[in-house]
Each structure stands twice: as structure tokens, then as C-alpha cells.
Chains A and B, each alone.
Chain A
Amino acid sequence: MNLSPDSVSNGLTCRAIAPQWSAYLDDALPALMKLRMACHFSTCPDCRRYVRQITMVRDALHMLTKCEPSPVQRRFLRERFAARHAR
């Protein structure tokens, strides 16, 4: 059966689906909605760009340098941990 992506995503607007891309990326949407969004994605270069940017933000966030405890804090916690286990 052949269908055009336009006919499947018919009625979806970029604005209506914009909030749902994160759920889409996690495969957390009902199958029909997912299919309609995939069709919209295939025909809308602006939404493709938007999804690429959201994906990039998601991946970059995980790579952000995490702040570490100060050496004083670290020593304090380590000592408390050791003391707890010495009991």
C-alpha cells in the first residue's frame, strides 16, 4: 500500500507537534501518532532542523562537566565513610 507522507501527517502542524518531540525521541508515543510525526518529519525541513537541535542539546547536557566536591568536602565525607565502617 502506498501513501504519501503528506496524507498520513495531514492536519499536523509544526506548532502542535513541537512539544511532543522529546516523547517521540524516547519512543513513548502511541504508534499512530509516531507514524504521523515521522511523516511530518520527512516532509518538513524546519522540524528536521528543530529535532536535530533538540537531540544535540540532549546529548550535550549529558556531557556537561559536572561540579565536584571541594577537597575539604571530599576528605570530610571520606573520613565519615571510613569512621562508619570502623564501627
Chain B
Amino acid sequence: MSTVAITTTGFRGLTPPSVGAPRRTPTPQADQALLSRLCAGEEGAFDELVNKHHGALIRLAMGYVADREVAEEVVQDTWMAVIESLSRFEGRSSLRTWIFGILIHKAKDRGIREKRHTTFSSFEPCEDDNEEAVDPSRFHQSGESAGHWAIPPQPWDDQTPEKLLASRQTINAMNGAIESLPRTLKEVLILRDVEGVDIKEACALLNITETNLYVRLHRARERVRAAVEALMGKDQILTTSSRCKKSSLRQTQG
């Protein structure tokens, strides 16, 4: 049996390879520099801001309203509010958090108005609080191995993020999984993983606890992972079946 030595820094050599998400929160200095350019009326700075956040704002808005067209309107209203109140921005949060806060407020308002005309369930997938992040049927239910993987993750981890995104099918699968997330999972995933918002900032924006945020974040990531796994599994079946076909063809020809 292997043994490990406990040191003051933990277990040597046993730490998972990628602890700690890459930090993407803009520094206060970068924020301040951009803000100064915006306050000076520099159009290039405004373009930069729009390019950086427009996509995430649309995705986030779509969690609250029924369709893309309405989400576009909400985002446009958000940008108008940003333009109008930029001079009053006090820097108590990052510029990004402030913009996302405006969006969430506007999208909620719009969503409530829409729901007066549409039933909620017609466009909002429900999130079940008791639902497990990973499908329970993938684990042994009883016996010595109860609670351990019965159907372990299918192997596709020889990929890299870049290789994954080189395939149009994978991008579509990931986008599809994000779009079908319930709002509460979608907003966490977009803020944290797509935008790289700091955990504390995300909790403040969504008014949830850190524990709650991680529950939602992991559920959301798992759904995207499962979508990629389903696609990769299908690819593997296709590859295997085309290999079988080729081999039987060779045998026939031989």
C-alpha cells in the first residue's frame, strides 16, 4: 500500500493538477484606466467595454426573458443606462459587476412584465434543489462499491480546451447545454466561467451564499461536461463502427 507524508503544505504529490481557477478579475488599476478613458469620452474605450461584455450580457438576459430579441433589447437598455450613469459610477464594485448588476435588475423587471402575459414554465426549465449534480445511476447503489463509479466518465480527457473548441459540433453541444440550463444555473456559469467574475462578486450580484453558488456552479459544469461526453461517446461509437465496416469490407474484398 502506498503511503504519503503529511507536511505543513499538505500531501506531497497528491494535489489535483489544476487547483484554482485562472483569475480573470480586472485589477482596480485596469478598471480605473478604462474608466478614465470612458469619462473622457473616448469612443474606443466604450467599444472595448461593449466587445468585452456584450455576449455574456445577452446570455445572462436570456435566463430571464423568453427570447433572443427581448434579451437584445434588455442589453441595449443596459448599455444606455451605463452611458447615462457612467459619470455617477462610484467604484464601490468593479465596473463589470456594476454593469452586470444593471443588466440583472433590468432583465428581472422585463421578465416579470413578460410573465404577466406568459406562463413561467413555458420558457423556464425548472431546477430541482434536491437533484444530484451527477446522475445517481452512474454510481453503484449497493454492495461493497456503493457510492463509487459504476459507469465512470467516458475517456475524452486527452483533449485540451483548444482542441475541444476546434470542433464545431463540440461548441454547439456546449452552447446547447448552456442554453438549456435553468436560469439559476446559467447565471452562475456565465458569471464565473464565461466572464471570470470573482466568487465574492458573483455572490453579491446574485444575492446567494458561497455554498449555494458552488452547488449551482458544479451542477451547471456537470451538465456541460455530460453534453460533451455524450457527443464524444457518439463519436467513439461512430469511429468504432466505421472501423468495423472498413475491416469487414477488407475481409470481403480479401
Q: Which residues of chain A have a CB within 8 Å of any CB of chain B?
A: 1-6, 8, 13-16, 18-28, 34-35, 38-39, 41-42, 44, 46-69, 73-74, 76-78, 80-82, 84-85
Contacts and interface: CB of A to CB of B under 8 A. Distances in A.
Given A4-B3, A60-B174, A20 B156 contact: no
Given A23-B218, A61-B193, 15 more contacts: A4-B2, A18-B218, A19-B134, A20-B214, A22-B214, A51-B16, A53-B157, A57-B221, A59-B161, A63-B161, A66-B51, A66-B55, A66-B56, A82-B43, A84-B83
Contacts, number: 197
Interface stretch (B6-14, B98-106, B236-244): B6-14
A28 B210 contact: yes
A78 B221 contact: no
Contact of A25 (B3, B20, B50): B20
22 contacts: A3-B3, A5-B2, A19-B132, A21-B218, A24-B19, A28-B210, A28-B214, A35-B10, A48-B16, A49-B153, A50-B149, A50-B153, A57-B225, A61-B178, A61-B193, A62-B24, A66-B55, A66-B194, A77-B50, A78-B46, A81-B43, A85-B41
A21 B58 CA distance: 28
B136 interface: yes
Given A20-B218, A58-B193, A62-B193, A53 B10 contact: no
B217 interface: yes
Of B5, B174, B214, the most chain A CB neighbours within 10 A belong to B214
Given A19-B134, A20-B218, A53 B11 contact: no
B139 A13 contact: yes
A65 to B, nearest CB: 8
Given A18-B134, A19-B134, A26-B21, A64 B175 contact: yes
B94 interface: no
B210 A56 contact: no
A35 B171 CA distance: 35
A12 B134 CA distance: 16
B147 interface: yes
A51 B17 CA distance: 9
Contacts of A77: 46, 50, 76, 79, 83
B196 to A, nearest CB: 6
Nearest to B224: A57
Given A74-B47, A78-B46, A42 B11 contact: yes
A61 B189 contact: yes
B155 interface: yes
A35 B215 CA distance: 20
